Amino acid sequence: MDVKKITVLGAGLMGHGICQVAAQAGYEVNLRDVKQKFLDRGMEMIRRSLSRFQNKGVLTEQQVHEILDRIHPMLDLKEAVAEADLVIEAIPEIIELKKETFREVDNYAPAHAIIASNTSSISITELGSATNRSEKVCGMHFFNPPQLMKLVEVIKGAKTSHETIQTVMEAAKKMGKETVLVKKDVPGFIVNRILIPALNEAVALYWEGVADRDDIDKAIKLGLNWPMGPLMLLDYIGADTVLSITEVLSQDINVKFQAHTGLKQMVRARLLGRKTGKGFYDWTKK
């Protein structure tokens, strides 16, 4: 199947970036959210990002205008998915909310449309079971920020067809992404299965007083050649997101993935990182 029209559900941290990447690749994109203020904020972030690309000489002013013309923000879900070939869901990591959204999309989208989830931890098979098109449901996991990160994990659910996987991989490649195939629908997929326990251990080192924040981040940057330290990365991702993935890994795979008390405390205190202004670092000054 040839993808021409894409709908992105959710204009937040990941959704607006996925929308921008798709529009930059030449796709017509409907960007849908539940409130006008979320759409406005998402569009503002897209404009800001495109402006940075223009200032760096990556895009011309004309190209920026053309990209923005291909993005259609809207509130009505039925209208948003009515002509979509590919729907990419990027709403909060709440399973019942995602399943309800998938049920609605299944009712309104064309029969040929693929529904992909940008989830970082929730079962693709379970999301597919909320629809009557499980063979056309898969995972399409972008990384933050989607405008810069090259990787997309494509995840096969229990009933996902080979054609669906191929179509989504081709669409991702058209967006300039490198793809990896996750052949089994397991929590955390590839990257988060390895990354999240590492972030959890960094929290443990900090909260147990083994080393200071800056030394933990410096050690991993220089010792493992990470572009940023684990505590700063955790602030970028959000402590709440890391905690929710940790809980899924712990429940569905092994108790060894259990979240450290310090991580739970940070979420209770709303020290989530960049999104709330403070986490391990103070983002209000940056």
Concerning whether 153 is annotated as a catalytic residue, the answer is yes
Q: In this structure, what DSSP letter does residue 276 have?
A: T
Q: Give the C-alpha separation, 198 to 203, whole Å.
A: 9
Catalytic pick from 49, 117, 121, 192? 192
Please identify which of the residues 16, 30, 89, 141 carries the catalytic annotation.
141
Query: Quick one: which of 222, 257, 223, 227 has its CA closest to 243?
Result: 257
CATH number for the region 5-182 comes to: 3.40.50.720
C-alpha dist (Å) from residue 29 to 69, 85, 202, 278: 9, 10, 39, 33
Give residue for tokens 């405008």: 147
- What pLDDT, on the 0 to 100 scale, is given for residue 103? 98
223-256 pLDDT, tens digit per residue, is: 999 999 999 999 998 999 899 889 988 988 888 9
What is the per-residue pLDDT for 286? 57
Options 30, 120, 121, 123, the catalytic residue: 120
Indicate whether this model's pTM tops 0.75.
Answer: yes
282, with CB counted inside 10 A (0-12, 13-18, 19+), is exposed
Collapsing DSSP states into helix, strand and coil, what is residue 81? helix
Catalytic residue, chosen from 49, 121, 153, 244, is: 153
pLDDT tens readout for residues 120-168:
878 999 999 999 999 999 999 999 889 999 999 999 999 999 999 999 9
Q: How much is the pLDDT for 1?
A: 84
Distance CA 75, CA 39 (A): 8
Helix spans in the chain (H): 15-24, 36-55, 61-69, 77-81, 95-108, 124-129, 162-174, 191-207, 213-223, 230-237, 239-252, 261-268
The dihedral over CA atoms of 189, 199, 243, 278, expressed in degrees to the nearest 10, equals -130
Is it true that domain 193-280 has CATH number 1.10.1040.10? yes
Question: Tens of pLDDT along the chain (286 residues)?
Answer: 899 999 999 999 899 999 999 999 999 999 999 999 999 999 999 999 999 999 999 999 999 999 999 999 999 999 999 999 999 999 998 899 999 999 999 999 999 999 999 998 789 999 999 999 999 999 999 998 899 999 999 999 999 999 999 999 999 999 999 999 999 999 889 999 999 999 999 999 999 999 999 999 999 999 999 999 999 999 998 999 899 889 988 988 888 999 999 999 999 999 999 999 999 999 998 5
The b/e string for 181-209 (b: 16+ C-beta within 10 A; e otherwise) is ebeebbbbbeebbebbbebbebbebbeee
Delimit the domains of the chain by residue range: 5-182, 193-280
Is residue 55 part of the annotated active site? The answer reads no
Active site residue 244: no
